[in-house]
Structure 1
Amino acid sequence: MRTFAFVFARGGSKGIPRKNLQLLAGKPLLAWSIEMGHSLEVERVFVSTEDPEIAQTALSFGAEVITRPTELAQDTSPEWLAWQHAIKVVEEKHGQFERFLSLPATAPLRNQQDVKRCLNSLDAETDVVITMTSASHSPWFNMVQQEPTGNVCLLVEGV
């Protein structure tokens, strides 16, 4: 089965500016996901981004770049729209593929064996595999932002 890995990495970030290029153990955050893709039995690794510096970094770590339209790289842009765009671009250029593997840049500590188990569990009766873990704190508690005044406010009112 043709399996392509995708890393979706926007240039903008409210929480940590340029987070996908920040170094983690000497490598850009984005590089960990690219390298994970290369370590698996996937045919190609793509990075979807609107940012030229992220694109250059992706190329330097052996990924192919999909130029994402700016309107699909906003804080309010649903990631699945970026997925649809990437799939369309890749299928036009490389033909159809059977398996889509998303390797978020913001999950650099994922375990290779877990990803392999997910890929191996896909069959005629299993269309989608999603991994998750229990949070030690309510995720709603963490949904805050710092205002220019230094105050912290909830992103979602009423939580």
Structure 2
Amino acid sequence: MKTIAIIPARGGSKRLPGKNLMLLDRLPLIAHSILYAKANPDSIDAIFVSTDDPEIKKTALEYGAEVIDRPAHLAGDHEPTVTALKHVLESIKTRPETVILLQPTNPLRPEKLLKQAIEIYKKEKCESLFTVTRSHHKLGKINNNKFVPFNYKPGQRSQDLEPLYFENGLLYICKSDLILEDTIISENAYPLQVEHVFAQVDIDTADDFDYAEYIYQKNK
């Protein structure tokens, strides 16, 4: 195996219980990421779901993914994603060269994004790549009950802001050796810019899910 996709999906969400199995257009949330990976067989040799939840495991198997049972101590609220990825690599027989991380909370992705990302990853000889989107918000800090602009001056037009970007979570690609060193995004990671409405969907709350449904139906 040269390249695998890993989908980390624990069962203990606090803000939106059971979110990874909630139905988005009649499909469990986790199924969207599995099917996205399966639609790219030329790029992905195997698909693994890491979970501590029996129902998520059952669903992942039904949609054709392999499942790695995640131990409870790696499924806590404050456990970083990289530990789940590392556990997968330590649990499979053959170590891949490359890992693609697909988060189930980002179920909507541009169809050709993965192919584009892999082409850039190879061409630029990256050790890691992740997707970003430009923010058009006027941001600031609050110090001593006073708002201090961060990326603009009062009265400045939003279209004239200095470009700032946020990590949108659509996908990550990195060498497996990085993950074994507890890293997903390296210091010289390639930031792939994605300007698509799907980049605004990241499901953590009920409102996020409602927004995802709206965006999905509008762009179906």
SS in 1 for 2:133: coil
SS in 2 for 1:53: helix
Cα gap change, 1:26 to 1:86, in 2 (>3 Å): same
Q: Scaled by the length of structure 2, what TM-score is found?
A: 0.58
How many Å apart are 1:125 and its aligned residue? 2.8
Task: Give aligned pairs, total.
Answer: 137
Counterparts of 1:48-127 in structure 2, within 5 Å, are 48-90=50-92, 93=93, 95-123=94-122, 125-127=125-127
Q: Distance in 2 between matches of 1:72 and 1:53?
A: 18
Unaligned runs of 5+ in 1: 146-159
How many Å apart are 1:113 and its aligned residue? 1.0
SS in 2 for 1:112: coil
Q: Distance in 2 between matches of 1:27 and 1:105?
A: 12
Q: Distance in 2 between matches of 1:136 and 1:8?
A: 30
Cα gap change, 1:30 to 1:136, in 2 (>3 Å): farther
Task: Please give the root-mean-square deviation of Cα atoms over the aligned residues, in Å.
Answer: 2.0
Query: Which structure shows the bigger proportion of residues in strand conformation?
Result: 2
In the alignment, what sits opposite 1:10? Answer: 10
In the alignment, what sits opposite 2:212? Answer: none
Q: Scaled by the length of structure 1, what TM-score is found?
A: 0.80
Q: Distance in 2 between matches of 1:54 and 1:61?
A: 11
Structure with higher Rg: it is 2
How many Å apart are 1:88 and its aligned residue? 1.1
SS in 2 for 1:132: strand
Deviations 1:72-122 (A, max 9, x none): 1111111111111111112xx2x1211100111011111131111111122
Q: Distance in 2 between matches of 1:136 and 1:53?
A: 39
| 1:27 is aligned to 2:17 | no
Q: Distance in 1 between matches of 2:69 and 2:76?
A: 14
Matched to 1:101, the amino acid is: I
SS in 2 for 1:130: strand
Cα gap change, 1:67 to 1:135, in 2 (>3 Å): farther
Q: Distance in 2 between matches of 1:72 and 1:136?
A: 36
Unaligned runs of 5+ in 2: 142-204, 206-220
